[in-house]
Amino acid sequence: MENNKSIVPVLKIQNLKKKFGSNLVLNGFSMELFEGENLVIMGKSGSGKSVMIKCLVGLLKSDEGTIEITGKNIKELSQKEMNSLRTEIGFLFQGSALYDSMTVRENLEFPLRTYKEKLTNKYTLVNEALESVGLAHAIDLMPEELSGGMKRRVALARAIIMCPKIVIFDEPTTGLDPITAKEIIELMKDIQKKYNTSSLIITHDVDCARVISNRMILLIDGINYAEGTFEKLSSSKDNKIQAFFK
Amino acid sequence: MKKPLDFLNNLKSFFIEIGELSLFAKRFFKESISRPFEFKELLRQCFNMGNRSLVLVGVTGFILGLVFTLQSRPTLLEFGAVSWMPSMVSISIVREIGPVIIALICTGRISSGIGAELGSMRVTEQIDAMEVSGTNPFKYLVVTRIMAATLILPLLIIFGDAIALFGSALVENLKGNVSFLLYFNKVFDALKFSDIIPATIKSFFFGFAIGLVGCFKGYNCKKGTVGVGEASNSAVVYTSMLLFIIDFIAVFISDIFFEI
């Protein structure tokens, strides 16, 4: 992805700092995500990965630093503009976060409701998204009737229903058996190709990182400690880096 | 030395919480008058709260009227004042006992339900998911629930009062051979607008308190699944306290305007 340096990134984070009380979680983290790229961020539990992506979508406010999404600095946006920008970002939560009082169809229709899509168009979009994840038959089921893998697929369908430019995956394979995890990874690749999205993937899963990443960042001590391809980082002699690949 | 410090810290957190609750209420008023309005969700919440509480309120109201009449009867008989039973029961139930008891029952049913529902939505990141999808979860989840509780509680109280009076009439019919027609004639003779209006206005505030505290506790739930239990539990405790405070203020104000 070296040639990407010449193009404008869809997402740019500079010197991001975030503190909880006296605990400094992010200490000047910087990164860039380019169009069509799959960027994997790895880090130990508590290293600030989730805090970083929450700052990214405005769920948390950073103490310092700038975040630019498609060229817009999110700190300068009004709530309305931020909500509009959020439609360009799909988010797959670690626990799927499906609305458990709604059917699969209603879960997928929920992000569309603000934008007053015509009902027929809504129906087509929901069906298309569900077909993309191979769950068209589950449209009228409740989340409680779905398995863990199916929930993750529905959550993925919900993340892409607005045809976002960026999809953020928070631990997409955590809690899944190896076969289902592999299916989810394949699905992520297919969706990335179909919708031409840029993906930011937070994971602990080395297999997932190896299969899906174009580039990786290791988040250690609140900073971008190391950056490069999977092959480059996995062959590093640095003990801190090696610890991730053992 | 530790105990006075603990007490001061608890007092401090109590006042902080009151401040946060006030800001939450302020946000509710601000969001409830701005577009888009979530009418469909509001109706769904009204239906859920009303429908699910109807049997509970009905049974409570019936037993309340029944027991109240059975307990009062011997004393009134002793003084030869049993003919005052419909007036006494109706005024007590409509003015005070009905609204307070039914509001307390609904606190356990509605406020704890909202606290647990929103709390579990918070800890499972469903509220975050709504926010990330560009929707305003406060408007969709909180405004609709508070409004629904405010609108539904007066209706539930009127229903509960009616059932309580029916329970009372049933006792009088069985024990004192008083016809239902005569009983309800006496009830309507005794009741004045000055009894009904303050009680009805008060019940809107009760509904508001039930919705507000339930939503506040659930929406700000922390500490995972333990937090959900705490949210639900503290929603009931805080709402119950708040109901008595509102009741006291309401009686104080109605005393000025309606000369009890």
Q: Is A136 contained in some domain?
A: no
* Mean pLDDT calculated for residue range B112-119: 94
Give the lowest-confidence range in B110-114, B162-166, B195-199.
B195-199
Select from B36, B126, B136 the Cβ nearest to the Cβ of A99: B126
The distance of Cα A43 from the centroid of its chain, to the nearest Å, equals 15
pLDDT at residue A5 in the model: 46
Q: Do A97 and B134 touch (CB under 8 A)?
A: no
pLDDT at residue B100 in the model: 95
pLDDT at residue B147 in the model: 96
Domain ranges in chain B are 37-258
For residue A155, give every residue at least 6 positions away whose Cβ sits within 8 Å of its Cβ, in sequence order, or none: A92, A93, A96, A97, A98
pLDDT at residue B38 in the model: 86
Q: Is A121 contained in some domain?
A: no
- CA–CA dist B215, B110 (Å, integer): 10
pLDDT at residue A88 in the model: 87
What is the arrangement of strands in the sheet containing A89-92, beginning at the earlier edge strand? A89-92, A166-170, A198-202, A38-42, A215-220, A223-228
pLDDT at residue A115 in the model: 67
Residue B194 structure tokens: 């000055």
On whether any CB of chain A is under 8 Å from the CB of B125, the answer is yes
* Mean pLDDT calculated for residue range B31-58: 91
Contacts of B133 in chain A (CB under 8 A): 86-87, 91, 110-111, 158, 162
Q: Is A151 contained in some domain?
A: no
pLDDT at residue A120 in the model: 65
Q: Do B129 and A59 touch (CB under 8 A)?
A: no
pLDDT along chain A (246 residues), means of 10: 61 91 89 90 87 90 91 88 87 90 91 68 84 88 91 90 90 85 87 86 88 90 89 87 81
Select from A97, A101, A114 the Cβ nearest to the Cβ of B135: A114
Q: Is A89 contained in some domain?
A: yes
- C-alpha closest to that of A98 among A123, A128, A135, A61: A135
**Closest approach of A84 to chain B, Cα-based (Å):** 6
CA-based nearest residue in chain B for residue A86: B134
Q: Is the pTM of this model over 0.90?
A: no
Per-residue pLDDT tens digits for B201-216: 999 999 999 999 999 9
Q: What is this model's ipTM?
A: 0.86
The number of domains in chain A is 1
CATH number for position A74: 3.40.50.300
Contact B164, B98 (CB under 8 A): yes
Question: What range defines the domain where residue A202 resides?
Answer: 2-94+163-245
* Mean pLDDT calculated for residue range B220-249: 91
CA-based nearest residue in chain A for residue B129: A97
Residue B61 structure tokens: 């109201």
Interface test with B, best of A81, A113, A158 (most B CBs within 10 A): A113
Q: Is A183 contained in some domain?
A: yes
